[in-house]
Amino acid sequence: MATVKLDELEGAAMMVEDGGGTVTALVSRDTGMIHLLNDEYMDEEAPTPSASGDEGAYVAVPPAGTLGIGDGLVLRFAAAHLAGDQDTVRDLFRDRDTEGFARLLEARGAGEAWERFHAQATRGALQSWCDANGLQLAD
C-alpha cells in the first residue's frame, strides 16, 4: 500500500479547490507521489493516466470542499466555537479575508481551538479518503 503525506495531500486538495476546475491532482497508487497537472504546467515525472494506459494506477484528489476541509470546515468551527461571530466569519470567507479570520481568532482567544479543530478534522477526512482509495496516510 502506497503512503501519502498528510500535508502534501491537504495541499493538493486545496490547489484543486482553488484551481476552479483547471487543476488536477493525481496520486500514484504505486508510489503515493502526488502529481499536479493544470493548463499551464504538466508534471514531467509521471504520465497522466490516459498516457500511461493504466487509469487504475492513479486516483484523483477531490477538491478540499468535497472532503469537508475547505471553507465549510471554517463555518463548522464558527458554529461550534464562535457562535456570536458566525455572520462575521461567513463574510470574511466570502471576501477571502484569511487575515481577518486570524485576527478574529486572536481577539476571541480561539487560535489554539481552531488549530486543534482543523488538524483533527483534516486528518480524519484525509484518512477516510485514503482508506477508501487503498492508500496509507502518513504525517
- Average pLDDT of the chain is 89
**Segments making up each domain of the chain, as ranges:** 3-62+133-138, 67-125
Span 118-129, mean pLDDT? Answer: 97
pLDDT at 20: 83
Rounded to two decimals, the pTM is 0.84
Q: Is 129 exposed, middle or buried (0-12, 13-18, 19+ CB in 10 A)?
A: buried
- Tens digit of pLDDT for each residue in 68-121? 998 889 999 999 999 899 999 999 988 989 999 999 999 999 999 999 999 999
| 8 A C-beta contact, residue 117 and residue 77 | yes
